[in-house]
């Protein structure tokens, strides 16, 4: 009801949690919980990873790394059916390796890839849909804000969650590419005939433009994997390197530096306030014993645990049509996560599944954030074309969800190889 009235999700959660604690205990017990939670979340060192991962993506954009990625993958992949669209997905995957935000990935690629695809007569539907789908990789391929928030809310290792997203992220990017090729083969009118070829020498030479992104990813994720860095330290190292790249390329100005920092502060404050609201709400749920009762009720059902998991994932798919990804996690995990543990699913595997379903929510109408991000750039595409262009990209996401459920080692084998992995 509070959400329908327009109250921000963080405030609604905090108000419900406060009122519930007050009802179950007393006003004197409820007031300190709210004050302490806001202070602890805003002052916790572990949460510094959120602004660091966000500012990494901003500095990557300032340094021109996005254009370099797109141009390089264009030279290597343009001969495939729908080659520019395939190159866009590959560039999204590359940019996702230094950006924790799906919306930031979609916004950055919209300004570069969409005009290029339209210049070569790609249909607005395919061009916009490709960027919307490819943008979701920013929420899955580490460094990912989605895994950071999941780890904070469930007290799981953020480092292991980030590493767990690498292989499913690669699989998802490949399934996106397969989808594009199949779409263009089935309907050649979506994309023009293959562009003129690029020599092998030009392809090799183009690789020099992406060494910076590759180096940052190796340092950040390799450092976490080997146990050299905590996620916060890795984020600081990545942000520093990308800042230096932008400085060395003489693309850093006071204006774009201030804009990057301002956007980082805005998004970080929003995410941290959501986490604070979810924490208060979780205290209330713990006192009310609602999660324990739900676990007991589900345990008494004569159905497979996979049926329950499928129901939870379908609820996520539905909620994604109306609520942004981080808010969805904050709203549901306090109730859903204890149930998942009781059913015997590995928390890291569920973290990957959860982030994948958030990805689907980013491109499902009517509230998919990636869709509105692209609409602001793709002036010649109607919202209907953007919707229909993005919807096919939900299918590969669901395919990868099925792969992770059937073969959980796709998410677990890298975290198990980490120092202290299980």
What dihedral angle (degrees, nearest 10) is formed by the CA atoms of 158, 163, 164, 167? 160
Query: Rounded distance, CA 316 to CA 327, Å?
Result: 11
pLDDT at 71: 83
- If we measure between CA atoms, which residue out of 359, 352, 356, 355 comes closest to residue 413? 352
Domain parsing of the chain, residue ranges: 46-257+289-417
Q: What is the pLDDT of residues 269-303, one digit of tens each?
A: 888 887 888 788 877 877 776 666 666 676 667 78
pLDDT at 299: 61
Peptide bond into 22 cis (omega under 30): no
- Give Cα 358 distance to the centre of its chain: 7
What dihedral angle (degrees, nearest 10) is formed by the CA atoms of 178, 210, 124, 144? 70
Stated pTM of the model: 0.84
Tokens for 402, please give them.
Answer: 């099925």
Whole-Å CA distances, 351 to 154, 238, 261: 9, 24, 29
Query: Rounded distance, CA 266 to CA 351, Å?
Result: 25
Kindly give, in sequence order, each residue whose CB lies less than 8 Å from that of residue 292, ignoring residues fewer than 6 positions away: 338
Tokens for 233, please give them.
Answer: 């330290």
Whole-Å CA distances, 372 to 141, 271, 287: 22, 20, 39
Tokens 């209907």 -> residue: 384
What dihedral angle (degrees, nearest 10) is formed by the CA atoms of 288, 290, 296, 297? 140
pLDDT at 49: 84
Could you write out the DSSP letters of every residue in 310-377? HHHHHHHHHHTTTS-HHHHHHHHHHHHHHHHHHTT--HHHHHHHHHHHHHHHHTSTTT-HHHHHHHTT
Query: Rounded distance, CA 170 to CA 179, Å?
Result: 14
Query: Rounded distance, CA 57 to CA 238, Å?
Result: 10
pLDDT at 354: 93
Could you write out the DSSP letters of every residue in 11-72? HHHHHHHHHHHHHHS-HHHHHHHHHHHHHHHHH-GGGGHHHHHHHHHHHHHHTTHHHHHHHH
336, 312 Cβ separation under 8 angstroms: yes
Distance in angstroms between the alpha carbons of the first and the last residue of the chain:
42
- If we measure between CA atoms, which residue out of 342, 326, 68, 339 comes closest to residue 216? 68
Q: Where are the alpha helices (DSSP H) in 209-346?
A: 211-226, 231-248, 254-288, 290-299, 305-319, 325-342
Query: Any idea what the Cα angle at residue 378 is, between residues 113 and 362, rounded to 5°?
Result: 85
What residues of the chain score a pLDDT lower than 50?
A: none
């Amino acid at each position: 009801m509070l959400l329908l009235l327009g109250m921000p999700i963080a405030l609604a959660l905090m108000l419900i949690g406060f009122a519930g604690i007050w009802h179950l205990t007393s006003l004197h017990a409820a007031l300190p919980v709210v004050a302490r939670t806001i202070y602890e979340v805003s002052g916790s060192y572990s949460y510094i990873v959120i602004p660091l991962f966000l500012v990494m993506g901003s500095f990557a954009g300032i340094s021109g790394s996005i254009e370099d990625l797109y141009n390089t993958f264009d030279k290597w992949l343009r001969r495939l059916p729908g080659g520019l669209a395939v190159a866009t997905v590959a560039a999204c995957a590359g940019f996702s390796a230094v950006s924790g935000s799906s919306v930031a990935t979609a916004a950055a690629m919209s300004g570069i890839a969409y005009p290029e695809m339209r210049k070569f007569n790609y249909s607005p539907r395919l061009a916009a849909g490709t960027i919307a789908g490819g943008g979701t990789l920013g929420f899955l391929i580490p460094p990912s804000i989605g895994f950071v928030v999941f780890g904070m809310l469930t007290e799981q290792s953020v480092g292991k969650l980030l590493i767990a997203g690498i292989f499913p992220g690669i699989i998802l990017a490949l399934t996106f590419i397969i989808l594009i090729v199949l779409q263009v083969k089935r309907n050649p009118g979506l994309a023009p005939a293959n562009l003129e070829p690029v020599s092998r020498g030009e392809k090799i030479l183009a690789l020099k433009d992406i060494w910076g992104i590759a180096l940052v990813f190796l340092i950040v994720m390799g450092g976490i994997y080997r146990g050299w860095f905590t996620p916060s330290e890795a984020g600081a190292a990545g942000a520093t390197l990308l800042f230096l790249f932008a400085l060395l390329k003489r693309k850093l100005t006071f204006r774009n530096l201030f804009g990057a920092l301002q956007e980082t502060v805005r998004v970080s404050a929003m995410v941290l306030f959501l986490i604070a609201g979810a924490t208060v709400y979780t205290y209330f749920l713990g006192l009310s014993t609602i999660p324990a009762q739900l676990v007991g009720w589900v345990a008494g059902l004569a159905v497979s645990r996979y049926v329950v998991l499928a129901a939870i994932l379908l609820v996520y798919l539905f909620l994604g049509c109306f609520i942004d990804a981080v808010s969805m996690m904050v709203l549901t995990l306090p109730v859903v996560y204890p149930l998942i543990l009781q059913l015997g699913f590995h928390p890291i595997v569920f973290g990957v599944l959860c982030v994948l379903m958030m990805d689907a929510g980013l491109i499902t109408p009517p509230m998919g954030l990636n869709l509105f991000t692209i609409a602001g750039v793709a002036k010649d595409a109607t919202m209907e074309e953007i919707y229909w262009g993005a919807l096919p990209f939900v299918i590969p996401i669901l395919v990868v969800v099925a792969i992770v459920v059937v073969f959980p080692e796709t998410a677990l084998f890298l975290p198990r190889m980490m120092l202290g992995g299980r």
